[in-house]
Amino acid sequence: MLKKITTVAGVVLLSALTACGSGGGGGTASSGSGTITMGFAQVGAESGWRTANTKSIQDEAKAAGIELKFSDAQQKQENQIKAIRSYIQQKVSVIAFSPVVETGWDTVLLEAKRANIPVILTDRSIDSDDTSLYKTFLGSDFVEEGRRAGDWLVANASGPTNVVELQGTTGAAPAIDRKKGFEEKIASKPDIKVVASQTGDFTRSGGKQVMEAFLKSQPKIDVVYAHNDDMGLGAIEAIKAAGKVPGKDIKIITVDAVKDGMQALANGEINFIVECNPLLGKQLMELAKKVVAGEEVPNRVVTEEGTFTQEQAKAALPQRQY
C-alpha cells in the first residue's frame, strides 16, 4: 500500500515538474487524480493478430489501472496522425502507437515532444534519424521472422522452387523486414526463386485476391510465402477454388500463429508458421508507467517468439489464447 502511494505521489510530482520542463518528455498525467492516461493509436482491425493485440492492450490497461483512449486508424496514416494530435490536445500522460507505415512521422512526433508527452512505439517501428522522438520500441524482430521463414524453405525445398510472395501493407515495417529476412536466406539457394510478389495488405480478402491473380499469371507455383496468416488463409481459398490442394500441390509459409492459422497448419493446409506475438499489452503498460515516472527504459524491447511445424501446432492449439 505504502509503495502504491509513493508511486502515485511520484507521478504527480513528476507531472508538476515536467509541465514546465524542457520538453524532453516524462509525462503530464492529466486526469487530475494521478491516473496515467494513455492515448493509443491502433493500425486497424485488418487481421486476427491485430484483434488479439487490441484485446491485449485494452485488457492490460484495465489491469494496470491506466486510463486508455483508443482509436482505430483503419490502416490509414492520416487517421493515426489525427489521433495522435488529438491525444496531444487532450494532454494524455503517454502516447503509444503502432505505425501503419515506417515513414512520415517526424512532424507529429515533434509536436508530442514539444508538448512534453512521451511516445512509445509498439509492434512496428518508424524510419527516422531522430531517435529522441520516442522513448522505446516494443515489438518483434521482423527481419528475424523473415529469416526463419527462409530457413525453413531452404531446409525443405528440393529442386527448382517457384515462390509467390504475399506482402503486407506497402511501406509497413513488417512487410519491408519480412521480405528482407526471407530474401537474405533464400539467396544461398539459387534454385529458389520469388517469381511474383505483391501486397495483400495483411487482409484475408487481399491475400485471396492477389493469389487468384498469381494462379492465373504464373505457370508454376510451388510455394506461397505470406507475410501473415490472414493472407495465407485467403490464399488457401484461392488455391482450393483453382482445384489445387493447399499444403500439398502448393506449400504455404506464413507469419503470426493466430488460432485460424494454427488450425490450418494442424490440418496440413499450411506447412510452416513463424510466430509473431501480439500479446504486447502487459509489457507496454509496464513501460508506460516507467516512462511517465521518468525512469530509464531500454530503447528497444524485443518480443520472444518461436516457429511452428504441423505437430507443434497440434500440440499448442488447445492452449492457444488467440
Q: How far is CA 245 from the centre of its chain?
A: 30
- Site for ligand AHR, rule CB under 6 A: 46-47, 49-50, 123-124, 174, 202, 228, 230, 255-256, 276
Nearer to ligand AHR, 39 or 206 (CB): 206
CA 94 – CA 108 distance, rounded (Å):
14
For 97, the grid coordinates are 502507437
Q: How many CA atoms lie within 13 A of 314 on its CB side?
A: 7
Helices (H), 187-227: 204-217
Nearer to ligand AHR, 202 or 322 (CB): 202
Burial of 297 (0-12, 13-18, 19+ CB in 10 A): middle
Rounded to the nearest whole angstrom, what is the least distance from the CB of residue 75 to ligand AHR in the complex?
9
Contacts (Cβ under 8 Å, ≥6 apart) of 144? 181
- CB of residue 177 to ligand AHR, shortest distance in Å: 10
Angle at 232 between CA 227 and CA 235, to 5 degrees: 130
Type of residue numbered 184: E
Nearest to 227 by CA among 262, 195, 200: 200
Say how far residue 108 (Cα) sits from the centre of its chain: 21
Q: Which is nearer to ligand AHR, 165 or 222 (CB)?
A: 165
Residue 74 CB, nearest distance to ligand AHR (Å)? Answer: 12
Nearest distance from residue 322's CB to ligand AHR, in Å?
Answer: 11
Least CB distance from residue 53 to ligand AHR, whole Å?
Answer: 8
Min CB(146)–ligand AHR separation in Å: 11
The answer to whether the beta carbons of residues 293 and 27 sit under 8 Å apart is: yes
Smallest gap from Cβ 93 to ligand AHR, in A, equals 25
- Closest to 122 (Cα-Cα) out of 321, 297, 307: 297
* Strands 307-308 vs 272-275: parallel, antiparallel or unpaired: antiparallel
As measured in angstroms, the least distance from the Cβ of 223 to ligand AHR is: 19
Question: 18 or 140: whose CB is closer to ligand AHR?
Answer: 140
- Which residue number, 117 or 265, has a Cβ lying nearer to ligand AHR? 265
Listed in sequence order, the DSSP H helices in the chain are: 2-19, 48-64, 77-89, 106-114, 142-156, 173-186, 204-217, 229-241, 259-266, 281-292, 310-316
Say how far apart CA 219 and CA 238 lie, in whole Å: 15
Judged by beta carbon, residue 36 or residue 175, the one nearer ligand AHR is: 175
Nearer Cβ to ligand AHR (26/206): 206
Nearer to ligand AHR (CB atom), residue 52 or residue 119: 52
